[in-house]
Amino acid sequence: MPKIKTHSGAKKRFKLSKNGKVIRAHANKSHILNKKTTKRKRGLRKTTVVGETNVAQIKRLIPYK
């Protein structure tokens, strides 16, 4: 059985936690920073867990991570 190819875009954007949850970065954090509050910008730096509807698809894209 041949190996599955990892999706290049997905491996750069997602990683798995120790418990198997898929982790992603927040969007909309790099431009138009004047109108965003400091609290909001600080929160956007952190990572978050992917929603459960997309987890199965993303895990298929990064099978060896």
The number of residues making up the chain comes to: 65
CA distances from 55 to 11, 13, 28, 43, 47 (A): 14, 13, 21, 22, 15
Determine the pLDDT at residue 53.
97
Determine the pLDDT at residue 9.
96
State yes or no: pLDDT of 1 exceeds 90. Answer: no
In this structure, which topology does domain 8-61 adopt according to CATH?
Factor Xa Inhibitor (4.10.410)
**What pTM was computed for the model?**
0.82
- 8-60, pLDDT tens digit by residue? 999 999 999 999 999 999 998 888 999 999 999 999 999 999 999 999 999 99
Q: Taking the chain, what is the end-to-end CA distance rounded to the nearest angstrom?
A: 19
Beta pairing partners, 22: 16
What is the longest distance spanned by two Cα atoms in the chain?
53
